[in-house]
Structure 1
Amino acid sequence: MEGLWSEELRKTFRSGRTRSVEWRKSQLRAILKMLEDHQNHIFNALLQDLSKHPIEVYRDEIGVVKKSANYSLSNVEKWMAPKKGQIPLLFFPSRGEVLPEPLGVVLILVPWNFPISLALDPVIGAISAGNTIVLKLSELAPACSAFLASTIPLYLDHTAIKVIEGGPDIAEQLLQQRWDKIFFTGSPRVGRIVMSEAAKHLTPVTLELGGKCPAILDSLSDPSDIEVAAKRIAGGKWGPCSGQACIAVDYVLVEHEFASILIESLKKTISRFYGGSLENLKNLSRIVNKHHFDRLRNLFKDPIVAASIVYGGSLDEKNLIIEPTILLNPPLDAEIMTEEIFGPLLPIITLTNIQQSIEFINSKPKPLALYAFTKNETFKKQILTETSSGSVTFNDVMPQFLCDTLPFGGVGQSGFGRYHGKYSFDTFSHEKAVLHRSYFLELEPRYPPWNDFKMEFIRLAYKFDYLGLLLLLLGFQLRRTFTSNHLH
């Protein structure tokens, strides 16, 4: 599997070609050109793989990549420039800088749920940083995989960027090789495998995983606020790939007295967005395959869990469609409340007091995203200081993913490392410290033979500023001169 292509990538990287700003910008422009030329092909590929509506495809796939490529094009030259380092006076005369350099040959492993944007967005970061790349596509999105595998070599530098198709066996072979960086988006289970294999070569990894992302709904007295909250929760649960997204809302926490209001508002929103019954569903992606369809069906197969369904629950096994489904207070020890759902099922958990949501969230692994609908500034501060998550978004769902100026990444079991915008550049770069020294002004106390004065000088060097040390050193030199003259 290593083969000639791997050697070609290392040869290309060693040539230094990918380090130039001209190469980086040309590849970013090529990505934009590819998207422009093949927009309809991408629409068709995602229709085949996931039944995604073209508008959803543009919003979540094409538009995301265009935005990211344009942002990097505008900033990459600035990101590449050495940054001045702040050097203590003790090092005078010296100057320091931090020089970003590419890591080398990187492996990017792509998931199936957003097979265009989650392939090309990390590639943009790796290109911007000047790396060569192996892009392993997901076999669970075969039409998108075939499109990228056949099209990328026509636009991007094929001696620096290789596209690999195949299943888990191919991924396993790739992980056994030595890389300068591995970037993986997927499940925590596979993330553990990636990390374990990377450790054999001490390869740095970025893991973009998932988890049970909660949404807290505080008491909203204004009916229009509740309506907006319901729209944003519905859009962030069922809108992106029918809930098959790592930052989709996994469950909602709300006080008992507001649960019925929320459920009614969600029902109206679902009907308006996606249709009122299984037969009339629209604008909703299908479940990726039979395996995942059966997994989701089994989550509410138990009669006790099924009894908690207050809306939806219908299935179309032939077309792999599951109706948007709301459950009210399913058993907390049921799998639907212990494992990431990754589908169109939304449990609503009621609390006596919304403050209990903090303890509830902290009882589970740290989520990739936490959403909270509240106008209470004190409660906002409490959420920020007393919970841990990859990100927190107040009064909306998912827009944080689209913001290039904010880092995107997890914490704990939801992953580690970050990307988007400059953070992508940093993820695929090494910040090399460079110190330039002068031959002028030698500090003799740093060298043996040792004596009491040198001990005192070194002790004070870590305690006082440079001017005081200069005065001390001047005194030392005057004392030596005086002693030498006195002896003569």
Structure 2
Amino acid sequence: MEVIEEIVRTQREYYYNGETKSYAFRKQKLETLRKVIKEYEPEVLKALKEDLHKSEWEAYTTEIGFLLEEIKFTLKHLKEWMSPERAKSPVTHLGSKSYVHREPYGVTLIIAPWNYPFQLQIAPLVGAIAAGNCAVLKPSELTPSVSAVIAKMIREVFPVNYIAVVEGGVDTSTELLKQSFDHIFFTGSVPVGKVVMEAAAKQLIPVTLELGGKSPAIVNKDANLNLAAKRIMWGKFTNAGQTCIAPDYLYVHSDVKKALLEQMAQVLVEFYGEDPLSDEKYGHIVSDRHFHRLKQFLNDGDVLIGGQHKERERVIAPTIMDNVSWEDPVMQEEIFGPILPVLEFTDIHTVIDDVRRRPKPLALYFFSESEKMQDLITSSISFGGGCMNDTLMHIVSPYLPFGGVGSSGTGSYHGQASFEAFSHQKSIVKQTTKFDFAFRYPSAKNGLKMIKRIMG
């Protein structure tokens, strides 16, 4: 605890000397971060293989490459984002100029999850650096190899009084949440998100919470079934389903259910071969606890595809289940694994009602050739973000803010949204001294009459 307190104290002292706020400083530190990520690429790939059995292709595209693209985009636009934004002035402010300045919060805390342990630790850091903050990083203890690499990498290039890494378990997180940070950025589960928000509320610390929920994939009868099958299977079984925006369940029109499932079975073989459990491209479950939690879900319906598993390797084959209901345990919580329950519908309004009755999902995916149907889904259901005729791809664009709504999160990031997430918008009025409106003062004759004329 004393070490954590000392880190926060020294970071606050360093922040107040003003060095982190200049454009030159921020640019140089982002370039340093990009360089060290490239240098540590082999170690990061090795660590991701050890912790999650991620293939080099998946690890690079979803973690390393993602970050390099994010840094490149940020460097390209940083000066523009930092510039004070001119705002209009109303008639009551005649003669003045109005601006919005984006200033850093100060000393920030970034808590990362285990499913994309490198990307989801460093991506918020890009925003924190770009906005001019200091940061304390807390990697997940469930991915110890990645945590060790992050600690080694960051300590090599950044002083502790600027960017620090604090490793450890729940006790460490608890102590961190007692500190007087200026902003907390948390990615993880809804239950832990509530703990973070409660701790932050005690000190009125602003938070960004990137959580999860049961994100549906909905396939209408007019969908392109071949592409729907490929894109749903890719979105669901990347990282063995351990993705916060993965399709959590599939709602398919009864007219095309049989055809879609046949296509999905073919795609599974195309992606992972006849024996996915032995395929090097396929990920493993992060821990024994999560493996056994997921294994229990296999009893909640009829396994149509997959279901095989190996406990020692903590791997469960891509699994599609039929004959499940909203009352089954598999539909009561976010699955966060390679199991996809299938529900069918005949009326899209039934689907809309079912999704509305439950907590707002982080993502939603709808497959249909009809613009009218796409607009109906977009306008009728509240969700964090999503795709029409695809999965996951909305998270890849640096031009789109990513975040949840309601129980799936608060706040957003990526691209400019990351800069905004770690910035306070400070409003400034530069008032003229060439003249003055005397009627605004209580001593003015007929002042109220003039104010009513202007403001009424």
Same fold (TM over 0.5): yes
Q: Quick one: which amino acid aligns to residue 417 of structure 2?
A: Y
Verify: 1:336 aligned to 2:330, yes or no: yes
Q: Please tell me whether the aligned partners of residues 242 and 343 of structure 1 are also in contact (alpha carbons under 8 angstroms).
A: yes
Measured after TM superposition, the shift of residue 130 of structure 1 is: 0.2
Spell out, residue by residue over 1:120-139, the C-alpha distance to the aligned partner (whole angstroms, 9 max, x if none): 10000000000000001111
State the partner residue of 2:262. 264
SS at match of 1:236: helix
Distance (whole Å) between structure 1 residues aligned to residue 368 and residue 137 of structure 2: 41
Distance (whole Å) between structure 1 residues aligned to residue 178 and residue 409 of structure 2: 21
State the partner residue of 1:411. 405
* Equivalent of residue 210 in structure 1, options 209, 212, 226: 212
Q: Structure 1 residues 257, 19: closer, same or farther in 2, change over 3 A?
A: same
Measured after TM superposition, the shift of residue 442 of structure 1 is: 1.9
* Equivalent of residue 431 in structure 1, options 425, 428, 438: 425
Distance (whole Å) between structure 2 residues aligned to residue 88 and residue 346 of structure 1: 55
**Aligned pairs (5 A) from 1:164-313:** 164-220=166-222, 225-239=224-238, 241-277=239-275, 280-301=278-299, 305-306=300-301, 308-313=302-307
Measured after TM superposition, the shift of residue 334 of structure 1 is: 0.7
Q: Please tell me whether the aligned partners of residues 384 and 392 of structure 1 are also in contact (alpha carbons under 8 angstroms).
A: no
**Aligned pairs (5 A) from 1:41-80:** 41-80=43-82
* Equivalent of residue 354 in structure 1, options 342, 348, 353: 348
* Equivalent of residue 325 in structure 1, options 308, 319, 322: 319
Measured after TM superposition, the shift of residue 405 of structure 1 is: 0.7
SS at match of 1:235: helix
Q: Quick one: which amino acid aligns to residue 50 of structure 2?
A: Q
SS at match of 1:340: coil
Greater shift, 370-379 or 354-363, is seen at: 354-363
Unpaired runs of 5+ residues, structure 2, are none
Spell out, residue by residue over 1:288-323, the C-alpha distance to the aligned partner (whole angstroms, 9 max, x if none): 01000011011223xxx24x2111111100100101
Verify: 1:386 aligned to 2:385, yes or no: no
Measured after TM superposition, the shift of residue 21 of structure 1 is: 1.0
Verify: 1:448 aligned to 2:446, yes or no: no
Spell out, residue by residue over 1:237-280, the C-alpha distance to the aligned partner (whole angstroms, 9 max, x if none): 002x1110100010111111211111111111011101223554
Distance (whole Å) between structure 2 residues aligned to residue 282 and residue 322 of structure 1: 13
Distance (whole Å) between structure 1 residues aligned to residue 178 and residue 441 of structure 2: 47
Measured after TM superposition, the shift of residue 329 of structure 1 is: 2.9
Q: Please tell me whether the aligned partners of residues 135 and 162 of structure 1 are also in contact (alpha carbons under 8 angstroms).
A: yes
Distance (whole Å) between structure 1 residues aligned to residue 222 and residue 440 of structure 2: 66
SS at match of 2:412: coil
Structure exhibiting the larger radius of gyration computed from Cα positions = 1
Distance (whole Å) between structure 2 residues aligned to residue 277 and residue 328 of structure 1: 21
SS at match of 2:109: strand
Q: Quick one: which amino acid aligns to residue 153 of structure 1?
A: R
Distance (whole Å) between structure 1 residues aligned to residue 194 and residue 118 of structure 2: 24
Q: Quick one: which amino acid aligns to residue 8 of structure 1?
A: T
Measured after TM superposition, the shift of residue 27 of structure 1 is: 1.1
Q: Quick one: which amino acid aligns to residue 298 of structure 1?
A: Q
* Equivalent of residue 137 in structure 1, options 127, 139, 146: 139
Q: Quick one: which amino acid aligns to residue 254 of structure 1?
A: V
Over aligned residue pairs, what C-alpha RMSD do you find? 1.3
Distance (whole Å) between structure 1 residues aligned to residue 124 and residue 37 of structure 2: 16
State the partner residue of 1:158. 160
Distance (whole Å) between structure 2 residues aligned to residue 294 and residue 360 of structure 1: 28
State the partner residue of 1:11. 13
Greater shift, 285-294 or 149-158, is seen at: 149-158
Measured after TM superposition, the shift of residue 363 of structure 1 is: 1.7
SS at match of 2:71: helix
Q: Give me the identity figure in percent.
A: 38
Unpaired runs of 5+ residues, structure 1, are 464-488
Q: Quick one: which amino acid aligns to residue 34 of structure 1?
A: V
Measured after TM superposition, the shift of residue 283 of structure 1 is: 1.4
Distance (whole Å) between structure 2 residues aligned to residue 392 and residue 230 of structure 1: 17
Q: Quick one: which amino acid aligns to residue 408 of structure 1?
A: F
Measured after TM superposition, the shift of residue 454 of structure 1 is: 2.5
SS at match of 1:331: coil
SS at match of 1:257: coil
SS at match of 2:424: strand
Verify: 1:369 aligned to 2:366, yes or no: no
State the partner residue of 1:460. 453
Q: Please tell me whether the aligned partners of residues 11 and 107 of structure 2 are also in contact (alpha carbons under 8 angstroms).
A: yes
Distance (whole Å) between structure 2 residues aligned to residue 227 and residue 282 of structure 1: 25
SS at match of 2:80: helix
Measured after TM superposition, the shift of residue 367 of structure 1 is: 0.4
Count the aligned residue pairs.
454
Distance (whole Å) between structure 2 residues aligned to residue 278 and residue 381 of structure 1: 37
SS at match of 1:238: helix
Q: Structure 1 residues 133, 67: closer, same or farther in 2, change over 3 A?
A: same
Q: Please tell me whether the aligned partners of residues 278 and 314 of structure 1 are also in contact (alpha carbons under 8 angstroms).
A: no
SS at match of 2:304: strand
Q: Quick one: which amino acid aligns to residue 234 of structure 1?
A: M
Distance (whole Å) between structure 1 residues aligned to residue 447 and residue 6 of structure 2: 58
Distance (whole Å) between structure 1 residues aligned to residue 62 and residue 422 of structure 2: 23
* Equivalent of residue 101 in structure 1, options 95, 99, 103: 103
SS at match of 1:212: coil
* Equivalent of residue 29 in structure 2, options 27, 33, 41: 27
Q: Please tell me whether the aligned partners of residues 7 and 160 of structure 2 are also in contact (alpha carbons under 8 angstroms).
A: no
Q: Please tell me whether the aligned partners of residues 278 and 315 of structure 1 are also in contact (alpha carbons under 8 angstroms).
A: no
Task: Give the TM-score normalised by the residue count of structure 1.
Answer: 0.91
Q: Quick one: which amino acid aligns to residue 457 of structure 1?
A: M
Task: Give the TM-score normalised by the residue count of structure 2.
Answer: 0.97
Q: Quick one: which amino acid aligns to residue 38 of structure 2?
A: E
